[in-house]
Amino acid sequence: MIPRYAPTYTFNDLLNGLKQSSDPDIENKLIARLKSYYNVRHAFLFGSGREALYAVLKAYNRPGGVLIPAYNCIVVPEAIQFAGYRPVFVDIERNSLCMTAENVKKSLSSDVQAVFLTHIFGIPCEIQEILDVLIKQNKDILIVEDAAPAIGAEYNGQVVGSFGDASVISFQSTKVISGEIGGALLTNNENLAEKLKGLKLEAVGPGSDWMLFIKALARKFVTSRNVYELAQFGYRTLRGEKMYEIVPPKVQKPKGFLSRCPSFSCALVFLQLDRLRWNLERRRNLALIYQNELSKHTEVSLPEIAQACDPAWIQYPILVDDKLSFYKHMQRNQIDVSWTYRYSCAESFGIKGFPNSIHAAETIIGLPTSPFISDEQAMEICRVANQFRGR
């Protein structure tokens, strides 16, 4: 079975990563590489992207509203609340799947202190249009790019993550570069950087590099073609094949929130930065195949990508009205697809409205864009998808 995602590390990376995790300088080496790639003066590593988002709000220290798209990962509004702020939801555009400048403008109230420019699935949002709206406001608002899924995506030829006051990237296993866990915060803002240096991080416990190594090894194993079918059967079938849900947000900050990025994750990401160009090119190729081969499908809508945007594609989202039948059809043909995200964050927070976010949650299916998927496999995925006729 073709897996819906696969981590980007190889078995070899895992062994080398474990070896390099004992290098006391590995964190600094990764920081130096990130600073040079993003052309920023400061980079800080954390245990996850959500912790980096939390950290920048804590450093900013002006509690109030934070604008985010309602179609989003639930951990984002959770992190906003943990930091003592309030998520203010903004609807997305039906086909671009991103928050629009127009909706940002409508949601700006005097209480709003920060805006997260969210590049969902690695698709850049309309950065310039949103910046224009914010500049016209003439109010001091913190602009953070949530580029967690978008390492290497570009907007007007400039890498995303270099537009706001600060930006966040993630090394979680489903993102552009899998470090198993981890994230980073990038900024040129000296005030924020000073405050960030003062934040107290939880240490990562001894042995955690070994634990992560074993976890990553297990993930690599269960996402290999032969074992995957059984593994995902267990996960999906036992958990229930829900195509839409309401996810109650966590109210308590989990234990160990705001921790350091483990050395093993640093090493794993560091090693894979050498392959970033290849990684992104594979993802773009696969997306192009999906776009070309599925453009005439009457049951499937494709995301609309603005001219200025060159996404990083952690998956290729398509919109299918009869999502459950489509998923089952693909499964019968040995292809797994993603249901992420199958909720609207606004609804999960008990707030009504946001029809485009609910529509996305109800209809999005993610096609795999792992760099290890071959063009032939992508063609096979399209061939099977094109056989789908709906109910």
**Residues near ligand PLP, by CB under 6 A:** 48-50, 73, 75-76, 118, 120, 146, 148-149, 170, 172, 183
In the complex, the smallest distance separating the C-beta of residue 391 from ligand PLP, rounded to whole angstroms, is 31
- Residue among 50 and 282 whose Cβ is closer to ligand PLP: 50
DSSP 119-164: -GGG----HHHHHHHHHHHTS--EEEEE-TT-TT-EETTEETTSSS
Q: How far is the CB of 5 from ligand PLP (least distance, A)?
A: 12
Nearest one of 38, 50, 55, 7 to 269, comparing CA atoms: 7
Q: How far is the CB of 387 from ligand PLP (least distance, A)?
A: 31
Nearer to ligand PLP by C-beta: 122 or 294? Answer: 122
Q: Shortest approach of ligand PLP to residue 79 CB, angstroms?
A: 8
Given a contact cutoff of 8 angstroms between Cβ atoms, the answer to whether 23 and 267 are in contact is yes
- Which lies closer to ligand PLP via its Cβ, residue 18 or residue 120? 120
How far, in Å, CA of 286 to CA of 373, rounded? 8
Q: Which of residues 167 and 329 has its CB atom nearest to ligand PLP in the complex?
A: 167
Question: What is the CB-side half-sphere exposure of residue 6 using CA atoms within 13 A?
Answer: 25
Residue-wise DSSP of 94-111? TTT-SB-HHHHHHH--TT
CB of 314 within 8 A of CB of 8?
no
Q: Residue 165's closest CA among 124, 113, 120?
A: 113
Residue closer to ligand PLP, measured from CB, 2 or 76: 76
54 versus 326: smaller Cβ distance to ligand PLP: 54
CB nearer to ligand PLP: pick between 64 and 149: 149
The CA–CA distances, whole Å, from 303 to 86, 111, 120, 285, 288 equal 29, 33, 12, 16, 12
Q: How far is the CB of 146 from ligand PLP (least distance, A)?
A: 5
Spatial CB neighbours of 351, under 8 Å, sequence gap ≥ 6? 89
Q: Pick the closer one to ligand PLP by CB: 78 or 299.
A: 78
Distance of closest approach, residue 174 Cβ to ligand PLP, in angstroms? 7
To ligand PLP, the closest distance from the beta carbon of 57 in angstroms equals 13
> Between residues 170 and 272, which has the closer beta carbon with respect to ligand PLP?
170
- With residues binned 3-state (H G I as helix, E B as strand, rest as coil), the percentages for the chain, rounded to 5, are 45, 15, 40
**Least distance from ligand PLP to the Cβ atom of residue 172, Å:** 4
Length of the chain: 391
Q: Is the previous residue joined to 316 through a cis bond, with omega within 30 degrees of 0? A: no
CA distance 27 to 172: 17
C-beta of 20 vs 340, nearer to ligand PLP: 340
In the complex, least distance from residue 295 CB atom to ligand PLP, rounded to whole angstroms = 26
Distance CA(44)–CA(35), nearest Å, equals 10
CA-to-CA distance for 82 and 71, rounded, in angstroms?
19
| DSSP β-ladder status, 309-310 and 65-69 | unpaired
Give the separation between CA 163 and CA 63, rounded to whole angstroms. 22
d(CA 180, CA 297): 35
Distance of closest approach, residue 376 Cβ to ligand PLP, in angstroms:
28
